[in-house]
Amino acid sequence: MWQILQQISPYAIAFAIPLLITAIGGLYSERSGVVNIGLEGLMVIGSFAAAITISVLQPIMHSQALWIGLLAAVLAGALFSLLHAFASISLQANQVISGTAINMIAGAITVFIARNVTGSGNIQINPFTRFDIPVLNEVPVVGKLLFSNTYATTWLTLFILTVAYFVLYRTVFGLRLRACGEHPQAVASAGVNVQFIRYAAVIISGACAGLGGAIILTTYSGEFNGTVFGLGFLALAALIFGQWKPLGILGATAFFGYASTIATSAQAIPALAQIPGVALKTFPYIVTLLVLVLFSKTSQPPRASGQPFDHGKR
């Protein structure tokens, strides 16, 4: 059993990392009071921007093009999220409908452009290669689990998670952001620009989601095809499961990562090989539904989440 865990851990972590960074983006947005259903679409935008950038630069810059592609994904996700921010904050539109529109627009426009650029709608790149971290990969128990066969983007994401925790709980900006999601009228009465805070949160959310889509492309996918396989919605589930807290989200995404990896690699595990393939493939999604049902009564989202703020009323 221990050997099986060592074998699947690199793949489970690789699957969980895009979920984690996207859920962190959703955390910023929802903590400020803006529901961002459009994480899926923003991931697609990020994946597309990275694919276009890397495909152009990789013949010249080789592996360095991957990092520039990640940066392009961050910028594209941030810029595209402005559509959701403008509709939800400035126009006070329904945030769920706005996010749904983002998902629909992102998939359509990226595939349209990709087909005009490549003729097929698919863009292939050479992704990051895995590596072992010297010394640490020899540490008993955790060495083979965490520090072997890993990607550089894994440690970039964990660094961003640490920064997110510090920003949300140890800075004035984080305090104001969380207050905007709980009682925006009180925050506005104190002289804080609620709209500015919410705009910043949604832009950060888009940047993180864009990076999540690019990480899928530059690690285990290697190809843009107009979809991120529903991981944006799974990131939303992890956000709820994690109770809108950074460490809770880390645990939730790790859980989903291992559940999905077990489902896809079950045929190589004798103990699971007898289970029908359909049951194993649907296992992660059934678990997601069960988790949401079980935790729905105890979940405590930000009080003002999804509620438009009218700066004229305090």
Tens digit of pLDDT for each residue in 153-212? 999 999 999 999 999 999 999 999 999 999 999 999 999 999 999 999 999 999 999 999
Quick one: pLDDT at residue 60? 94
Name the more confident of 7 and 2. Answer: 7
Residues in the chain: 314
Cα 150 to Cα 173: distance, rounded to the nearest angstrom: 33
How far apart (Å, rounded) are the C-alpha atoms in residues 114 and 224? 9
Asked if residue 10 has pLDDT above 70, the reply is yes
Q: What is the pTM of this model?
A: 0.94
Q: What are the pLDDT digits (tens) for 223-234?
A: 999 999 899 999
d(CA 174, CA 19): 22
What confidence score (pLDDT) does residue 144 get? 84
Grade residue 69 by pLDDT with cuts at 50, 70 and 90.
very high
Task: Assign 127 a pLDDT band (cuts: 50, 70, 90).
Answer: very high
Specify the pLDDT at position 71. Answer: 98
Instruction: Kindly indicate whether the domain formed by 1-127+151-298 is annotated with CATH number 1.10.3470.
Output: yes
The answer on pLDDT for 15 being more than 90 is yes
Region 213-218: mean pLDDT is 98
pLDDT value of position 2? 66
pLDDT at 312 over 60: no
Q: Read off the pLDDT band of 281 (50, 70, 90).
A: confident
Give me the residue spans of the domains in the chain. 1-127+151-298
pLDDT in tens, 258-270: 888 887 776 666 6
* 155, amino acid identity: W
At residue 159, the pLDDT reads 98
**pLDDT at 251 (0 to 100):** 94
What pLDDT is attached to residue 313? 56
Which residues, other chains included, contact 4 with Cβ-Cβ below 8 Å and sequence gap of 6+?
269
Q: Determine the pLDDT at residue 311.
A: 65
As a whole number, the mean pLDDT across the chain is: 91
Q: What is the pLDDT of residue 268?
A: 65
Report which of 307, 314, 313 is spatially closest to residue 33, judged by C-alpha positions.
307
How far apart, in Å, do the first and last CA atoms of the chain sit? 59
